[in-house]
């Protein structure tokens, strides 16, 4: 019979992700990870092999939780018109600062800057996650009263622009920009793509 796992792997990954999020990949030592995850060195090596593997697993966890939640928001037809869902998707980046006082930015965005340029495996994961968000935005656009009639090329370009706006919002939030500036970015991005939704 297999020996039961000595720790909750999802909880350990959440803690490891927070270490990487706060300190970056290079700044996070193996000892930092062991202490945060509350596991022994042998357990880490048995479950993940090394620091790099822990980072990849943390990125996968962020994909399963936060990125999937964002995609769900964009695809949730019960949440209203597609343009309203895109607005909520962008507004969530501002809400992290306003409601939760969270200025860590986005773990995916941090990975895109911190590790993707020098690690092909991480770059592939980052690109796949970004593209999944972009497809979610595109799906919402196709279900918007304003954008559904646009040519496919215009919708595709708008989806890319709005995904870029989301990434930019997360970076600006991490940099300390005030919520009113983040709101201006959201408004300008929406209007620039032809999504003038009064009252949202």
pLDDT of residue 96: 86
At residue 6, the pLDDT reads 66
DSSP type of residue 157: H
Q: What is the domain extent for residue 25?
A: 9-192
Determine the pLDDT at residue 49. 86
| Residue at 2 is within a domain | no
State the chain's mean pLDDT as an integer.
Answer: 91
Q: Report yes or no on 199 lying in a domain.
A: no
Query: What's residue 68's pLDDT?
Result: 95
Whether 159 maps to a domain, the answer reads: yes
- Count Cβ atoms within 10 A of the Cβ of residue 103 and give its class: 0-12 exposed, 13-18 middle, 19 or more buried: middle
Cβ atoms of 119 and 113 closer than 8 Å = no
User: Mean pLDDT, to the nearest integer, of 62-67?
Assistant: 94
CATH number for the domain that contains residue 18: 1.10.357.10
Q: Write out pLDDT tens, residues 139-158.
A: 999 999 989 999 999 999 99
pLDDT at position 2 over 50: no
Does 3 reside within a domain? no
Is position 66 within any domain?
Answer: yes
Is the pLDDT assigned to residue 97 strictly greater than 90? no
Instruction: Count structural domains, the chain.
Output: 1
**pLDDT attached to residue 200:** 45
Which pLDDT band, with edges at 50, 70 and 90, does 104 fall under?
confident
- Average pLDDT, integer, range 160-169: 96
* pLDDT the model gives residue 105: 83
Tell me, yes or no, whether 197 lies in a domain: no
1 domain residue, yes or no: no
Kindly state the tokens that stand for 45: 């090596």
Span 95-105, average pLDDT = 83
For residue 59, is it within any domain?
yes
Going by the DSSP 8-state scheme, the letter that residue 198 receives in this structure is T
């Amino acid at each position: 019979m297999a020996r039961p796992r000595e720790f909750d792997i999802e909880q350990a990954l959440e803690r490891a992700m927070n270490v990487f999020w706060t300190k970056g990949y290079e700044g996070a030592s193996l000892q930092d990870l062991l202490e945060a995850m509350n596991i022994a060195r042998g357990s880490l090596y048995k479950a993940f092999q090394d620091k790099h593997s822990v980072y990849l697993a943390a990125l996968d966890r962020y994909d399963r939780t936060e990125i999937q939640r964002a995609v769900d928001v964009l695809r949730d037809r019960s949440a209203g018109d597609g343009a309203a869902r895109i607005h909520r998707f962008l507004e969530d980046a501002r809400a992290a600062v306003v409601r939760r006082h969270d200025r860590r930015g986005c773990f995916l965005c941090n990975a895109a800057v911190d590790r993707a340029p020098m690690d092909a495996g991480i770059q592939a994961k980052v690109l796949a996650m970004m593209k999944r968000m972009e497809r979610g935005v595109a799906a919402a656009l196709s279900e918007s009263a304003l954008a559904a009639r646009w040519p496919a090329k215009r919708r595709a370009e708008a989806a890319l622009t709005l995904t870029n706006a989301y990434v930019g919002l997360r970076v600006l939030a991490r940099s300390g920009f005030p919520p009113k500036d983040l709101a201006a970015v959201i408004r300008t991005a929406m209007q620039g793509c032809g999504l003038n939704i009064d009252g949202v």
